[in-house]
C-alpha cells in the first residue's frame, strides 16, 4: 500500500490548480472563497453554506489580529522590521501579501515536483522507515492548509490510519485550541518562506523482536537507573537533541491534534508542525510498537494547556536532530475502568510498550529519556504505577530518567520513593516483584483498602 496525492485525480487537480493560480492578490475573503471552492470540488452535491458562513470564524479571527510587538528584528515567523523606526507589519497584511502566495506555490508547484511517485506507508509491512526533506514536509502541510487532500488519498484499510490530513477544523472553526494551532501554522509557513533547511525529517517504526514475560521482568538483575524528578519545565521546553523525548501518544499518531485536542501530544505536534506529516503515513500502533520521530523543528512558544492553550510567539531551536518517541498508553478513563491497569495483562502491556520506546539507538543507546505522567490524564492511569513501570523499562534499556511532574500534586511523594530505592540499590526484578504483589492483591480485592503503591513498596522493600 502507498500514499496517494490529489494530483493523481487529473480532473480534480486541474480545476484546483486553475482556481488557486488565478488569484492575483489574496485577502481573507478570497481565501475563504478558495477554501470553499475546493470543498465544492470534492462534493457531488452543492454545499449548503456560503464562504462567509462556512469560514465566518476565520474571517473574524483575521479582523481581530493586532500589530506585532516582538523582539527587535524578529517576531512572528521571523518577520523583520520594515524599517528601523517602523512598527512590525500587521499579521493579516503580511500573511496575505507574502506568506499565502508561498503556501500556494508549495501546493501547486513543489508538491508534484518533490513527490513524483507515491510513498510507501510506514506500517511495518510495506516500510518501517520514511525520510522526508524539509521541502517535502512543507509541501504536504500546504496541501493540508488548503484542504486539498481528498477521501481518495486516505490510506486503506479503513480504520487503520488517522483522519485525513487537512486543517479544516483549525481554519473553519478557529476557537480555543484551534486558534493557537492556526497561528502556529501561519508562523511555520512564514518561517519556511524565509528558509527551508536542507535537512531530513525521519520516521522509524520500531517493534520488539521478543516480548519479555512478567517472569522475565521479575527475575531481572538490572539495577535501577538514575531517576531525576523535575518539578519545573517540561519535556519539550527543557530538553534538547541529546535526550530522548517521550510523546504521550495516542495509538493513532497525533491523537486529537487535527481537532480540539491540546494536551501533551497535540501541543508537541502543534509547536513542531513537521510532526504532522507522520499522520499521512503511519498506521495505528500495535501493543509492541513505537514510532521514533527525528528532526522535526520546533517553531513556536506557547502557554496553557487544553482549552487554555495559546500561541506565545516564534521560537528558534538551538540544535537540530531532536528525537521524539511516540508510545501509546492503554486507556482506562473512558469506560474500561481504572482497576484494569493493575491486571497482569495490562502491566505487561505497559512495560513492553515502554521498553520498545526506550530500547534503541535514538539519539544514542544511553541517552537520557525525558518522560512524565504518561497515560495519567484523560486515560486514567496511576502516576505511582506508571512512573515505576517506566523506570523499570528505562533501566533495562540502559537509560537514565528525567521525570517531569508538570506540577501534578500526585507526584509529591515520587522523589522520596526514588531516593529511598536508589540508596538501597534495588534491582528491576525486586521492584517488579513487589509491584506485582501489590497489583495482584489490589486487583483481586477490587482496589479496596490496600493503601498506595508507594506505601506498599516502602513497607516491603525499605
Instruction: Give the pLDDT score at 90.
Output: 67
Query: Lowest-pLDDT range, 154-158, 295-299, 313-317?
Result: 154-158
Instruction: Give the pLDDT score at 57.
Output: 87
Per residue in 156-188, pLDDT (tens digit) is: 787 888 888 999 888 887 777 888 899 899 999
Confidence of residue 448 (pLDDT cuts 50, 70, 90): low
Choose the catalytic residue: 110, 202, 247, 289.
247
Per residue in 82-138, pLDDT (tens digit) is: 333 334 446 788 889 999 999 999 999 999 999 998 888 999 988 999 999 999 999
| Overall pTM surpassing 0.75 (yes/no) | yes
Choose the catalytic residue: 123, 190, 266, 297.
266
Per residue in 127-154, pLDDT (tens digit) is: 999 999 999 999 999 999 999 988 777 7
Per residue in 182-215, pLDDT (tens digit) is: 989 999 999 999 999 999 999 999 999 999 999 9
Per residue in 11-21, pLDDT (tens digit) is: 999 999 999 99
Per residue in 391-435, pLDDT (tens digit) is: 999 999 999 999 999 989 989 999 999 999 999 999 999 999 999
Does pLDDT of 74 surpass 60? no
Residue 67 a catalytic site member = no
The percentage of the chain sitting over the pLDDT mark of 70, rounded to a whole number, equals 92
Per residue in 222-273, pLDDT (tens digit) is: 999 999 999 999 999 999 999 999 999 999 999 999 998 999 999 999 999 9
Does pLDDT of 73 surpass 50? no
Confidence of residue 337 (pLDDT cuts 50, 70, 90): low
Instruction: Give the pLDDT score at 18.
Output: 97
Residue 265 a catalytic site member = yes
Q: What distance in Å separates the CA atoms of residue 96 and residue 455, rounded to the nearest whole number?
A: 60
Residue 266 a catalytic site member = yes
Choose the catalytic residue: 34, 110, 265, 368.
265
Q: Domains (ranges, CATH) in the chain?
A: 2-200 (no CATH), 205-461 (3.40.220.10)
Instruction: Give the pLDDT score at 372.
Output: 98
Instruction: Give the pLDDT score at 87.
Output: 41
The whole-number average pLDDT for the span 279-294 is 96
Output the average pLDDT for the chain: 90
Does pLDDT of 31 surpass 70? yes
Amino acid at each position: 500500500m502507498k500514499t496517494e496525492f490529489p494530483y493523481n485525480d487529473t480532473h480534480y487537480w486541474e480545476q484546483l490548480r486553475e482556481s488557486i493560480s488565478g488569484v492575483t492578490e489574496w485577502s481573507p475573503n478570497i481565501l475563504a472563497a478558495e477554501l470553499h471552492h475546493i470543498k465544492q470540488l470534492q462534493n457531488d452535491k452543492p454545499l449548503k453554506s456560503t464562504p462567509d458562513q462556512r469560514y465566518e470564524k476565520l474571517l473574524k479571527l483575521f479582523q481581530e489580529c493586532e500589530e506585532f510587538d516582538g523582539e527587535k528584528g524578529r517576531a512572528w515567523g521571523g518577520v523583520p522590521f520594515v524599517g528601523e523606526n517602523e512598527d512590525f507589519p500587521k499579521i493579516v497584511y503580511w500573511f496575505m501579501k507574502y506568506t499565502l502566495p508561498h503556501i500556494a506555490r508549495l501546493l501547486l508547484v513543489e508538491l508534484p515536483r518533490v513527490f513524483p511517485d507515491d510513498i510507501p506507508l510506514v506500517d511495518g509491512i510495506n516500510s518501517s522507515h520514511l525520510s522526508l526533506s524539509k521541502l517535502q514536509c512543507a509541501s504536504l502541510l500546504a496541501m493540508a492548509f488548503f484542504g486539498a487532500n481528498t477521501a481518495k488519498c486516505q490510506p486503506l484499510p479503513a480504520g487503520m490510519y488517522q483522519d485525513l490530513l487537512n486543517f479544516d477544523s483549525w481554519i473553519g472553526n478557529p476557537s480555543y485550541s484551534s486558534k493557537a494551532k492556526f497561528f502556529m501554522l501561519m508562523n511555520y509557513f512564514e518561517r519556511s518562506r524565509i528558509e527551508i533547511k536542507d535537512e531530513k525529517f525521519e520516521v522509524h517504526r520500531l517493534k520488539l523482536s521478543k516480548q519479555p514475560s512478567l517472569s522475565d521482568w521479575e527475575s531481572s538483575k538490572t539495577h535501577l537507573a538514575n531517576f531525576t524528578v523535575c518539578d519545573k519545565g517540561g519535556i519539550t521546553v527543557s530538553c534538547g537533541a541529546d535526550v530522548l523525548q517521550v510523546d504521550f501518544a495516542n495509538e493513532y499518531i497525533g491523537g486529537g491534534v487535527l481537532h480540539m485536542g491540546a494536551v501533551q501530544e497535540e501541543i508537541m505536534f502543534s509547536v513542531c508542525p513537521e510532526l504532522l506529516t507522520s499522520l499521512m503515513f503511519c498506521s495505528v500502533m500495535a501493543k509492541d510498537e513505537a514510532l521514533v520521530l527525528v528532526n522535526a523543528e520546533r517553531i513556536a512558544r506557547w502557554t496553557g494547556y487544553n482549552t487554555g492553550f495559546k500561541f506565545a510567539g516564534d521560537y528558534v531551536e538551538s540544535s537540530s536532530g531532536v528525537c521524539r518517541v511516540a508510545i501509546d498508553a492503554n486507556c482506562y478513563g473512558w469506560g474500561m475502568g481504572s482497576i484494569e491497569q493493575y491486571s497482569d495483562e495490562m502491566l505487561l502491556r505497559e512495560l513492553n510498550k515502554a521498553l520498545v520506546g526506550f530500547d534503541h539507538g535514538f539519539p544514542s543507546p544511553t541517552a537520557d529519556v525525558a518522560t512524565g505522567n504518561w497515560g495519567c490524564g484523560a486515560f486514567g492511569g496511576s502516576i505511582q504505577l506508571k512512573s515505576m513501570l517506566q523506570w523499570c523499562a528505562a533501566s533495562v534499556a540502559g537509560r537514565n530518567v528525567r521525570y517531569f511532574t508538570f506540577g501534578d500534586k500526585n507526584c509529591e511523594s515520587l522523589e522520596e520513593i526514588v531516593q529511598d530505592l536508589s540508596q538501597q540499590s534495588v534491582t528491576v526484578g525486586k521492584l517488579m516483584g513487589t509491584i506485582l504483589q501489590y497489583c495482584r492483591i489490589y486487583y483481586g480485592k477490587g482496589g479496596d483498602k490496600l493503601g498506595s503503591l508507594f506505601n506498599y513498596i516502602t513497607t516491603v522493600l525499605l
